[in-house]
Amino acid sequence: MLDNLSTYGRRGFAVRLLAAASVAATGLGVAATAAAQTFPTKPITIVVPFSAGGTTDILARIVAQPLGTELGQPVVIDNRAGAGGNIGAAIAAKAPADGHTLFMGTVGTHAINASLYKKLPYDPIKDFAPLSRVASVPNLLVAHPSRPYKTIKELIAYGKANPGKVNYASAGSGSSIHLSGELFESMTKVGMVHIPYRGSAPAVNDLLAGQVDIMFDNMPSAIQHVRAGKLRAIAVTTAKRSDQLPQVPTIAESGVPGYEATSWFGLFTNAGTPAPVVAKLNAALAKVLAQPDVKKRIAEQGGMIQAETPEQFAAFIQAESQKWGKVVRDSGATAD
């Protein structure tokens, strides 16, 4: 068709084409802005990829009600546990890209699983739009009180004297709880046996019942049992001691120098969600995380709030993926 046009005709055609594209882009921009102004138009769902009662669930519930108040719509929790968070992530990834479905992602779903599993039912980068981290928390190495070890050195000595007889529970293969154990195993050569569960809560229940020996649990779901004397706190996984349990030493200072593992949790929506909607969600979440009551409740769980922009969160995820990918490769861990 262009071959039959004169030079003038071609220029006119190009101008009209550019004008049409400009009008279309302007129309899309206006539509996106209008969507943000009316958003949300219905209740918002936070998909939690682990069972109720675990740290991911606890943090989601802490922010859900005040986030709903900020946005003017109820925020409900949908627990979809299984496969180290992959089932919930895949469900959230397939939701409409309109901001009404959020996902409480973790270091497992967005920085570990891509290296741990040969194939994922979702793409942690392409399928999600980061909003902000909610909190970072230490993992806490806890044991059933009946077990004969009270310190890291006693645990290592017992494990080496009884190879294969120390088992550790986790919230599922690929979770930060699992990888904290793998990192400890690779650095100490204790010879522990991994027992994965469908979330932290059922794993803790079996630990409380004495069905398993130890667990590198996220502090929010373990700290209440430590305070009640139902679990024995052996050490924290972070480089520094926790303000919530200052008497509990770190693993590094207890005889495993260089050991450090931190869990983090953040909110995402679907990739393709209009930028103004993403910005509105991020602004609402920032207000929630700045509220004194929310700060207090997260701190009581041993967590540290990490409010940030979507761009900052995306850069953080990239760095974490590189860090934990190396841990997975060095440890030889696999979930398949």
Is residue 5 assigned to a domain? Answer: no
Residue 112 CB-density burial (10 A; 0-12 exposed, 13-18 middle, 19+ buried): buried
Q: Is the pLDDT of residue 266 over 70?
A: yes
Residue 313 confidence (pLDDT): 97
Domain shared by 157 and 190, yes or no: yes
Residues 162 and 189 in one domain: yes
Query: What CATH number is associated with residue 288?
Result: 3.40.190.150
- The domain boundary residue, chosen from 168, 201, 236: 236
Q: Which residue range(s) make up the domain with 79?
A: 39-136+262-331
- 99 found inside a domain: yes
Partnered with residue 215 across adjacent β-strands are: 142, 169
Where would I find the beta strands (DSSP E) of the chain?
Answer: 44-48, 75-79, 101-106, 128-143, 167-170, 193-196, 214-218, 232-236, 262-270, 304-305
CATH number of the domain residue 185 falls in: 3.40.190.10
Average predicted confidence (pLDDT) for the chain: 90
Work out how many domains the chain is built from and give that number.
Answer: 2
pLDDT-above-90 percentage for the chain: 70
In this prediction, residue 302 carries a pLDDT of 86
Backbone Cα Rg of the chain: 23
Same domain, 191 and 326: no
pTM of the shown model: 0.79
Q: Are residues 130 and 268 in the same domain?
A: yes
Q: Are residues 146 and 220 in the same domain?
A: yes
| pLDDT above 80 for 297 | yes
Residues 7-49 have pLDDT tens digits of: 545 555 455 655 555 555 555 555 556 667 899 999 999 999 9
Give the end of a domain, one of 221, 236, 251: 236
Is residue 299, in this structure, part of any structural domain at all?
Answer: yes
In a domain, 24, yes or no: no
Domain end position, chosen among 220, 236, 252: 236
Same domain? For 43 and 105 the reply is: yes
Is residue 189 in a domain?
Answer: yes
CA angle, corner 52, sides to 108 and 286, nearest 5?
Answer: 65
159 and 219 fall within a common domain = yes
- The reply to whether 179 and 120 lie within a common domain is no
**305 within domain boundaries:** yes
The structure tokens listed for 33 are 């802005």
